[in-house]
Structure 1
Amino acid sequence: MGLGSGPSLSLSRASAPFLLLLVLFRSIGAVSFGQPSDSEFTFVLPPGTEECFYQSAGHNSSMELEYQVIGGAGLDVDFAVFSPNGESLVMESRRSDGVHMIEPTIIGDYKICFDNSFSTISEKLIFFEVIFDDAEDWSEILEPEELLDIKIDDIKESIGNMNTKLTKSVQIQAILRAFEARDRNLQEGNLGRVNFWSAVNLGVMLVVSLVQVYLLKSLFDDHRKVQT
């Protein structure tokens, strides 16, 4: 699935069943951003497949990648990141989550791959997000005003701190939602196993009880024949 011409995140190949949820997509076909933008995605990775995304980045910025496997047997996946020139930056095998910081970045498309080829029957539900350091150069936007008592630098620092805290809050909430989804899937799986084995144990107990009653009853039966 190709995305827009601007800096964006795209799939290596179109697969309709593969996408469960794509946040920030304007349409199924394309999405574009004026500048590298924070993005978060949740998708289904079928068994025996590998899917790659392409995220463009600017020069000398900071890009943070975080992923979590929130559903599927084993809750693990292979993860890899490649630079625009093909250099391997991150390579992880059978991990359930990970956080990686890439800085400074170079201009081009970074390749982000998730591999579930080691699994033959279990699909994986994966959440991941891309976070950019979107600090702006306020000196290009604002010019110092000599008549103002408050310095522009103080305003820049206050706004920057507020923006950083708000952005971090949104990121933490997204991470907590992913952890909640993974824990819920684990609990549902454990509940199914507990119910199954409880039913098996109950059946075994009933069979053993019936056998014991039969054996006790047979001990007290009088098998002697009454002679007439």
Structure 2
Amino acid sequence: MGPRLLLVPLGCLALLLPPGAAEFSPSLDSDFTFTLPAGRKECFYQPMRKEASLELEYQVLDGAGLDVDFHLLSPKGETLVFDERKSDGVHTVETEDGDYMFCFDNTFSTISEKVIFFELILDNMGEDGQDEEDWKKYVTGTDLLDMKLEDILESINSVKARLSKSVQIQTLLRAFEARDRNIQESNFDRVNFWSMVNLGVMVVVSAVQVYMLKSLFEDKRKSRT
């Protein structure tokens, strides 16, 4: 696998990465959470096979506005998906041989960094077919305990798919929980700040009112001797 380019927004500089520096292993399910600084753009690469499926879901967990720009490019450099100022998104594409690049862009923000979670789900990567061939090497007949080999494989694949779906849903629920917690903590700090401001204003107004009432009852006439 040759070297890859990681695009950096500052000055449109391209850095040459060593093999595998921003690449995920060809597992069926991968997730990652990272912090994207203000004014920066981060890109990742995922190698894919022909006639496979790539599903990518992302969420902005923390940061002002909870939004980010998202790009998904094909191995030929064609833009497949572009989301502008979105807080989350789900995209599925049928792939060809090559490295797919997806980028998260926070260059529109000059102050706030963003905490971003994304998950990759890869289907039809060719591993299941190899597993079936491995099974068939150890089975000489067409039946095994009155069950066909295809029925056993179908049951195993069904259980595997359901377990993978359960793990995916749990991961997404944790991401939603983290984002909701960050929003609640931000609202809590904001309420405390404005409560202190209101308390300070009330104290100042009370002091002014006491002073004004006191000045109304003061006898300013000078006594003559």
Do these two structures clear the TM 0.5 threshold for a shared fold by scoring above it?
A: yes
Give 1:12 deviation, angstroms.
Answer: 2.0
Q: Distance in 2 between matches of 1:96 and 1:211?
A: 47
Residues 11 and 197 of structure 1: CA distance in aligned 2, closer, same or farther (over 3 Å): farther
1:129 aligns with 2:119: yes
Give 1:224 deviation, angstroms.
Answer: 3.1
Give 1:130 deviation, angstroms.
Answer: 0.7
Residues 91 and 13 of structure 1: CA distance in aligned 2, closer, same or farther (over 3 Å): closer
1:73 aligns with 2:61: no
Farther-moved stretch of structure 1 (57-66 vs 181-190) = 181-190
Aligned to 1:111: 101
TM-score under structure 1 length normalisation: 0.82
1:185 aligns with 2:185: no
Residues 117 and 163 of structure 1: CA distance in aligned 2, closer, same or farther (over 3 Å): same
Q: Distance in 2 between matches of 1:178 and 1:79?
A: 18
Count of residues in correspondence between the two structures: 206
1:167 aligns with 2:164: yes
Q: Distance in 2 between matches of 1:223 and 1:11?
A: 83
Specify the code of the residue in structure 1 equivalent to 2:6: S
Give 1:64 deviation, angstroms.
Answer: 0.5
Q: Distance in 1 between matches of 2:7 and 2:71?
A: 17
Q: Distance in 2 between matches of 1:32 and 1:126?
A: 17
Task: Percent identity, please.
Answer: 59
User: SS at 1:12's partner residue?
Assistant: strand
Considering fraction of residues, name the structure with more strand.
Answer: 2
TM-score under structure 2 length normalisation: 0.83
Q: Which runs of 5+ in 2 are unaligned?
A: 9-19
Query: What RMSD, in angstroms, separates the aligned Cα atoms of the two structures?
Result: 2.4
Q: Distance in 2 between matches of 1:32 and 1:180?
A: 25
Q: Distance in 1 between matches of 2:161 and 2:52?
A: 15
Q: Distance in 2 between matches of 1:12 and 1:124?
A: 19
User: SS at 2:153's partner residue?
Assistant: helix
Q: Distance in 2 between matches of 1:49 and 1:31?
A: 19
1:83 aligns with 2:74: yes
Specify the code of the residue in structure 2 equivalent to 1:62: S
Q: Kindly indicate whether the alpha-carbon contact (under 8 Å) linking 1:39 and 1:130 is maintained by their aligned counterparts in 2.
A: yes
Residue deviations 1:59-82 (CA, integer Å, cap 9, x gap): 111110010111111111000101
Specify the code of the residue in structure 2 equivalent to 1:146: T
Q: Kindly indicate whether the alpha-carbon contact (under 8 Å) linking 1:79 and 1:91 is maintained by their aligned counterparts in 2.
A: yes
User: SS at 2:38's partner residue?
Assistant: coil
Residue deviations 1:112-149 (CA, integer Å, cap 9, x gap): 01111101111111111111125712542333623421
